[in-house]
Amino acid sequence: MDVECDGNASVVFYCSNELNIHRGALSKADELWKNHQGKLLSPTVKTRFEQWKKKHFSMKGKKMDIAVAGLGWICISGNVKKINVWAVKNAQITSRKAMI
């Protein structure tokens, strides 16, 4: 997930404790993925990154959720300019009004 913000933003993941979340600078995301896929960033899916889809979201109000079927949801608030979620092609990704 790529979150571009203009100032402060909050990104909270609601998912299994077994899922390791890694936060990093957007400017270094491609390098981080290339150097750490299968190590720091694991487990990985078997499809190559080039085969993934990108879904774009714009902030709706002051706070919103992005839900990823079978994984959980992410609550986003603050001065967010744009949000891109990268996933395998058949992943169902939706947005909604924040639940919490």
pLDDT at 34: 82
In the structure, what pLDDT confidence band is assigned to residue 67 with cuts at 50, 70 and 90? very high
Tokens 């009004």 belong to 97
Q: Do β-strands 72-87 and 93-97 pair in parallel, antiparallel, or remain unpaired? A: unpaired
Residue 32 banded pLDDT, cuts 50, 70, 90: confident
Q: What range defines the domain where residue 64 resides?
A: 2-16+24-97
Asked if the model's pLDDT at residue 77 lies above 90, the reply is: yes
Q: Is the model's pTM score more than 0.75? A: yes
- Assess contact for 58 and 36: CB atoms under 8 A: no
Question: How many domains does the structure of the chain reveal?
Answer: 1
Give the Cα-Cα-Cα angle 32, 56, 11 (nearest 5 degrees): 60
